[in-house]
């Protein structure tokens, strides 16, 4: 069994819980309140600013030019596809780019990104990949799951969001990162694999808490 398959089997229950959360349940029915989606767009925008840094650190820790190139491509695509997409979504709701950039991360958002950045800074390349992979992979899982639901695709804006993460282009990067996880975990002793699994599961749990906080519109906590 590849290590990524082990991670998938251990973490899938969390991603299933995300799909069952009211935020994504309502999105799948095309009934999600637009103010909750706007809150999510703002929080995810500032989240992505820190998430990009993980790929920059990946370039630093990578051993091959090919992996450096792929980390760089992922970072660039987050800026040019995901973040630009968030800006366009926000415009439709009358939210300016300046408002997005001035958004304060809520407590869960801040805790999540600080956790990943600490792992990426202090840990190995394998630990860095284990920390960042759940965001990419769970969005692929969610996007492809929701793309199968007709009601989800009837909403003009939610359809665009869903199809972005169900797209072949997005999933090609997810697959690269999954394969990288297998490569950097190969040959590691069980003690280290267990640590990678713990990092992966914690990031997955943060993903669930991110959806929950956005549904409840939990603001910045000082």
pLDDT tens figures, 82-130? 888 899 888 988 999 999 999 999 999 999 999 999 999 999 999 999 9
Note the pLDDT of residue 222.
Answer: 46
| Residue partners of 192: CB distance under 8 A and separation at least 6 | 126
Question: What is the average per-residue pLDDT within 143-167?
Answer: 92
CA atoms within 13 A on the CB side of 40: 21
Catalytic residue among 82, 177, 207, 214: 207
Structure tokens at 156: 């003009």
Q: Which of 161-165, 181-185, 202-206 has the lowest mean pLDDT?
A: 161-165
Q: Give yes or no for residue 157 having a pLDDT over 90.
A: no
| Residue partners of 15: CB distance under 8 A and separation at least 6 | 138, 141, 142, 204, 207
CATH class of this structure's domain 3-216: mainly alpha
pLDDT in tens, 14-71: 999 999 999 999 999 999 999 999 999 999 999 999 999 999 999 999 999 999 999 9
Note the pLDDT of residue 220.
Answer: 63
Question: What is the average per-residue pLDDT within 161-174?
Answer: 94
For 75-115, what is the HEC assignment? HHHHHHHHHHHHHHHHHHCCCCHHHHHCCCCCHHHHHHHHH
Question: What is the average per-residue pLDDT within 71-84?
Answer: 92
Mean pLDDT (the chain, rounded): 94
Catalytic residue among 18, 38, 74, 135: 135
* Catalytic residue flag (residue 207): yes
> Token pair 């989240």 is at which residue?
47
* Catalytic residue flag (residue 135): yes
What is the end-to-end Cα distance of the chain in Å, rounded?
Answer: 44
């Amino acid at each position: 069994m590849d290590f990524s398959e082990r991670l998938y089997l251990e973490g899938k229950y969390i991603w299933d819980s995300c799909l069952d959360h009211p935020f994504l349940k309502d999105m799948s029915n095309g009934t999600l309140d637009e103010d909750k989606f706007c809150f999510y767009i703002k929080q995810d925008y500032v989240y992505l600013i820190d998430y990009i840094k993980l790929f920059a650190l990946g370039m630093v820790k990578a051993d091959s030019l090919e992996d450096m190139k792929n980390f760089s491509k992922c970072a660039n695509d987050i800026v040019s596809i995901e973040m630009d997409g968030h800006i366009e979504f926000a415009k439709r709701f009358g939210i300016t780019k300046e408002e997005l950039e001035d958004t304060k991360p809520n407590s869960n958002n801040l805790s999540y990104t600080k956790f990943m950045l600490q792992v990426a800074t202090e840990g190995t390349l394998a630990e860095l990949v284990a920390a960042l992979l759940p965001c990419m992979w769970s969005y692929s899982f969610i996007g492809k799951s929701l793309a199968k639901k007709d009601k989800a695709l009837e909403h003009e804006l939610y359809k665009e969001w869903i199809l972005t993460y169900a797209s072949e282009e997005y999933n090609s990067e997810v697959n690269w990162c999954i394969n990288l996880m297998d490569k950097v975990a190969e040959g590691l002793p069980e003690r280290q694999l267990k640590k990678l699994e713990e990092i992966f599961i914690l990031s997955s749990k943060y993903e669930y808490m991110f959806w929950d906080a956005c549904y409840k519109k939990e603001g910045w906590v000082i």
